[in-house]
Amino acid sequence: MLELKNLSILKNREEVAALPEGKLLINTINAHSYNTAKKDVLFAEALAKGDALIPDGASIVKACRWIKAKSQPTERIAGWDLFELEMGRLNERGGKCFFMGSSEKVLSLIKQRARVEYPNIVVETYSPPYKPEFSEEDNRAIIQAINEANPDLLWIGMTAPKQEKWTYSHWDKLDIHCHVGTIGAVFDFFAGTVERAPVWWQEHSLEWLYRLIKEPKRMWRRYIIGNTLFLWNMWKEKMS
């Protein structure tokens, strides 16, 4: 059973920047992914057994403090923050980045923007088929594309929990040497197909509210019911 109080979560951006080179699986956790992992054993295992877990939500930072968790993150580190840090570092030395996930349209926009903002990075992409579950043939094709590219940085973007579960399940078949981040929404943010909340909302831990206002029909269950469920789960952890 996944419990926030027992997870190993990175404390701040300095710890993210200090991660060693080599093949590392970096996942994020927020209130929604925590709730999902409580009822999805494979997702919970992927989060708990990855190489690094970053607190992508002020709710996680505050909850860890409130329940006196083993890890005490001091700041929210969004998937976007991880993306900027890793891309900036790779651009300084030059190398290859691989984006796996999303549509051909989004991936094309990513390539266009990356050429301008990260001119020293060669970008390769792969758009997997849109289906709930990949076939063995689909999985082999994805793995082959990644391994043949042999990137210096790999991003997986298929929304949670699919992206974390797929990467964790196929980790041993990925013959690569680099950091791997599961950062779904960042693909759309960087491509410009989805607008990220303005800086003020981000700085005041209200990015979730901005998304709820912008897309109430799609987000109300995640944030209204989900946030309530997260508080209830945290209360149970604190009392246990």
From residue 120, alpha-carbon distances to 103, 117, 130, 189 in Å are 24, 9, 31, 21
Report d(CA 196, CA 202) in Å as an integer.
9
Give the residue numbers spanning the domain of 41. Answer: 1-77+202-240
Residue 83 covered by a domain: no
Q: Is there a single domain that holds both residue 66 and residue 117?
A: no
Terminal Cα distance for the chain, rounded: 13
Q: Would 85 be classed as within a structural domain?
A: no
| pTM (global) more than 0.75 | yes
Cα 13 to Cα 102: distance, rounded to the nearest angstrom: 27
- 10-residue mean pLDDT series, the chain (240 residues): 96 97 98 96 97 96 97 96 98 98 97 98 97 95 98 96 97 98 94 90 84 86 92 94
- Whether residue 122 sits in one domain with residue 172: yes
The total number of structural domains in the chain stands at 2
Q: What pLDDT score does 115 carry?
A: 98
What pLDDT does residue 240 have?
87
88 domain-assigned:
no
Report yes or no on 159 lying in a domain.
yes
Tokens of 208: 């979730």
pLDDT, position 14: 97
Phi, psi (degrees; rounded to nearest 5) at 134: -80, 145
